[in-house]
Structure 1
């Protein structure tokens, strides 16, 4: 429209910058905490119920949809929640996992190997968490991939993000959650996800890697 109107390049750039800013929303974690993390989980569940395809890249933690209750508790214990808040949040996050069994949706998860080794829980609980990932990966509509640490890489992972139906990207930063809808920005995340997904282990190779790490946790537990 701006081109048709014949505006100058300078004015066009200003309008485009404003439009791009409007297509990015930020919600500070302190505000989300005040409203209740369980309410945030319900909001995410509503988005997941309406989408048909999810692509999630995670270099920091096990994705929420793949977490065991113990892992969820470990994540939210770091946030200093009360017992009631913690219980409600864990329940809301676990309730989200029903989407895994909706065969009308395609769920793609790409994790870095470091996520599997990050010791958020004791060894036995970490082993159970990795068992959960292997189990979920066998669902027909779920694709779980792991980028191995010993593979040569040409990019750095950066931060976690999720892409819903190529329309909405959610990015978690230290201070806030960003929601991005500008198609140009969304395409950047799509390209980054596909890059790491193509560099990751999939199928039986992925399960062999996860199982090997799980067995390391088992041996650690047994050795005391």
Structure 2
């Protein structure tokens, strides 16, 4: 399926209009449809007014209750999948201010109990030392000092024992030398230190034998409710359960190929030593 940015913005309203139209064509009131679907009438109303985006399972239940023909079922389910996907372009984030993006991420982290990070390219801000954070923002426009401060403030969430974090990093992510060697050693030492927190699980995937599939994009899974996938020009937010399940499957494959616990710490310490040679 090809996602066009303009589709992602309009599809929620289109889905609401389509569901309302199909119900009326079937000659059903919202209350009668709700009873057929074992839903509340207020839930049907929110779906039809666009105040709430239904999941694919919700849409399937509604369409089957309406006896929708197969071609309508396929068309509306495609629309529903697009409606559960959001495109956030990087330039819009820049215009709004990078520190606002940090506030959004802090909210996501505060509202989540289990967060999984797949990091094929570089170390994420939650794990980074100040020098590394500043170096990672050199491509960003304007004054980055507030963004650096907000990223460092967000790191406090790592010490919330009610949450569980899993970070999977490829060797490329750990060893990409975006700061001088001495700072790289400190950065990798920080990874080792954080891996000892009882609610933080950190794994590394060394270069070598082929992994189960090529590491393509950075992505983060927040509980089982959404996934954010990043590329050079922005990020896609998936809320549809099948997309979330697919990313969980990818994550699990790399987790099985990763070094974890003491094995990961031993490998990280060896990499850190390579940056201490000239100290």
The answer, yes or no, to whether TM exceeds 0.5 is yes
Matched, 1:158 2:219: no
Match of 1:169 among 227, 239, 242: 227
Give the structure 2 partner of residue 217 of structure 1.
275
**Higher RCO, 1 vs 2 (CA within 8 Å, ≥6 residues apart):** 1
Normalised by the size of structure 1, how large is the TM-score?
Answer: 0.94
Unpaired runs of 5+ residues, structure 2, are 1-61
Unpaired runs of 5+ residues, structure 1, are none
Give the structure 1 partner of residue 59 of structure 2.
none
Give the structure 2 partner of residue 7 of structure 1.
68
Does the 8 A contact of 2:114 with 2:163 survive in 1?
yes
Give the structure 2 partner of residue 92 of structure 1.
150
Give the secondary-structure state (helix, strand or coil) at the position aligned to 1:56.
Answer: strand
Give the secondary-structure state (helix, strand or coil) at the position aligned to 1:79.
Answer: coil
Superposed CA RMSD = 1.0
Give the structure 2 partner of residue 63 of structure 1.
124
Give the structure 1 partner of residue 92 of structure 2.
31
Q: Distance in 2 between matches of 1:151 and 1:65?
A: 29
Query: How big is the shift at 1:177?
Result: 1.4
Does the 8 A contact of 2:98 with 2:147 survive in 1?
yes
Give the secondary-structure state (helix, strand or coil) at the position aligned to 1:218.
Answer: coil
Give the structure 1 partner of residue 36 of structure 2.
none
Between Structure 1 and Structure 2, whose CA radius of gyration is higher?
Answer: 2
Matched, 1:112 2:163: no
Query: How big is the shift at 1:191?
Result: 0.6
Query: How big is the shift at 1:198?
Result: 1.2
Runs of 4+ in 1 over 6 A off after TM superposition: none
Identify the range of structure 1 (6-15 vs 51-60) with the bigger mean alpha-carbon deviation.
6-15
Q: Distance in 1 between matches of 2:78 and 2:134?
A: 41
Q: Distance in 2 between matches of 1:135 and 1:195?
A: 25
Query: How big is the shift at 1:145?
Result: 0.2
Give the secondary-structure state (helix, strand or coil) at the position aligned to 1:99.
Answer: helix
Query: How big is the shift at 1:5?
Result: 2.1
Q: Distance in 2 between matches of 1:151 and 1:141?
A: 29
Query: How big is the shift at 1:77?
Result: 1.3
Normalised by the size of structure 2, how large is the TM-score?
Answer: 0.76
Count of paired positions: 218
Give the structure 2 partner of residue 124 of structure 1.
182
